[in-house]
Structure 1
Amino acid sequence: MYKDIIENWRKYCIKDNFIGIGSTRKAFKFSHYVIKLHLHPIGHKQSQNELKIYNVMNENGLHELFAETYYVDKKFSIQKYYHPLELIDNQSFEINTTQHANLLPNRYEEVLDLLDKDFDSFDLKDSSNYGLNEEGKLIFIDYGMSKKLYEREWVPLAESGILPQIDFDYCRVCGQKRELRMYGDHDSDRRCYDCGKE
């Protein structure tokens, strides 16, 4: 099925299929798949890392904790879809191994340790990087950012206003507290994505 997406990805990456946007990738859902469009070369690097990590975890019998990455090229990647965790007060939250123990799959802490030590992974506890599997347990869906990539490439571009930083505040158009994409310290355009700011 995903081979059809590779050939016809543009017809699936439409407004009706839109499910989320970050600073480097934009996500669309079609059937049981997520198509992550690369908005910046860093997004491509994240997707390449996800493919590499998934393959290593698969070899080590730990793949069930990760959304399978099927395909990556310079424009997009294709991954298995999992329902994301709900926001709390319109914000993501940090996964706490005590407070969220009922969501933790077997070998979760072992995998966190491997991601940190073997892949230099960044932002492993933010709820926005997880979905829920069929048993209601956490599964990594956004796991391609490394500390090195973040510090050496993402941060300088975000500070210079090229890549957006995410802020949760009131949109000046709809008045709701939403995720706002802010480009550098001098960006005063406080509109959410739904009100037209990408």
Structure 2
Amino acid sequence: MQFIKDNLHNLCTNKTFVGIGSTRKVFRYKNYVIKQHLHPIGFKQSQNEYNIFTKLNTQGLTKYVADIVYVDEQISIQKYYSNLPLIEAQSYDLEISEDLRFTEELKSAIHLINKEYDGFDLKDSGNYGIDENGHFVLIDFGMTKMLYEKEWVPLAEDGILPQIYFEKCMNCGEEKELRIYGDTDLDRRCFACGKQ
């Protein structure tokens, strides 16, 4: 992990870019992802993931939850899993009780996260990867309902944090997820076309 920490500038580039949310930007290095915190809420999410992973680990429920191996104020490092494919360029809700790619162990982990950590948005396909056997692995689980409602929503409503909208990019013309900063944000470019 020290190599990653010492070489962030060289490892977190357009070439290694994996994805971006409203509070964290994700890069891949070998079998790891580096989640770069774009906002203090991103750091809180990463801290939550570390604490949740530690608790799940004591109960033997981490086989289908991405290993959180390091967290500091700048970054979080976890094991890499392939993303689930988007449908029409956006994520979608998964049926946890019906989809056979959810193992019983993962369902137990999700139940514990919901019960003890106020889990949020755990049906969203964007929060899962897939392992070599085709099973779902939870990769993004640090947002809680309280963090979302008390901190994220007010900042998104004020245009400080971006909300994600599915619209046509004004530059490339493709319909995809756009990062929009409040009601007055008229820049409808996608991330690939330069909108951060």
Fold-level match, TM-score > 0.5?
A: yes
Do structure 1's residue 168 and structure 2's residue 171 form an aligned pair?
no
Higher fraction of helix:
1
Alignment-derived partner of residue 38 in structure 1:
37
| Aligned-partner SS, 1:15 | coil
1-structure distance, mates of 2:131, 2:36? 23
**Structure 1 unaligned regions, length at least 5:** none
Alignment-derived partner of residue 141 in structure 1:
139
| Aligned-partner SS, 2:7 | helix
> Residues 26 and 33 of structure 2 are in contact (CA less than 8 Å); yes or no, is this contact kept in structure 1?
yes
Q: 1:126 aligns with which of 124, 127, 136?
A: 124
**Structure 2 unaligned regions, length at least 5:** none
Alignment-derived partner of residue 77 in structure 1:
76
Alignment-derived partner of residue 107 in structure 1:
105
Segments of 4+ moved more than 6 angstroms: none
1-structure distance, mates of 2:85, 2:154? 30
| Aligned-partner SS, 1:124 | coil
Q: Using the TM superposition, give the Cα deviation of residue 71 of structure 1 relative to its aligned residue in structure 2, in angstroms.
A: 0.4
Aligned residues: 196
2-structure distance, mates of 1:9, 1:175? 33
Q: Using the TM superposition, give the Cα deviation of residue 147 of structure 1 relative to its aligned residue in structure 2, in angstroms.
A: 0.6
The share of aligned pairs that are identical, in percent, is 51
2-structure distance, mates of 1:119, 1:159? 25
Quick one: which amino acid aligns to residue 70 of structure 2? Y
Q: What TM-score, normalized by structure 1, do the two folds share?
A: 0.96
Alignment-derived partner of residue 27 in structure 2:
28
Q: Using the TM superposition, give the Cα deviation of residue 103 of structure 1 relative to its aligned residue in structure 2, in angstroms.
A: 1.3
2-structure distance, mates of 1:16, 1:183? 26
Do structure 1's residue 154 and structure 2's residue 152 form an aligned pair?
yes
What RMSD, in angstroms, separates the aligned Cα atoms of the two structures? 1.0
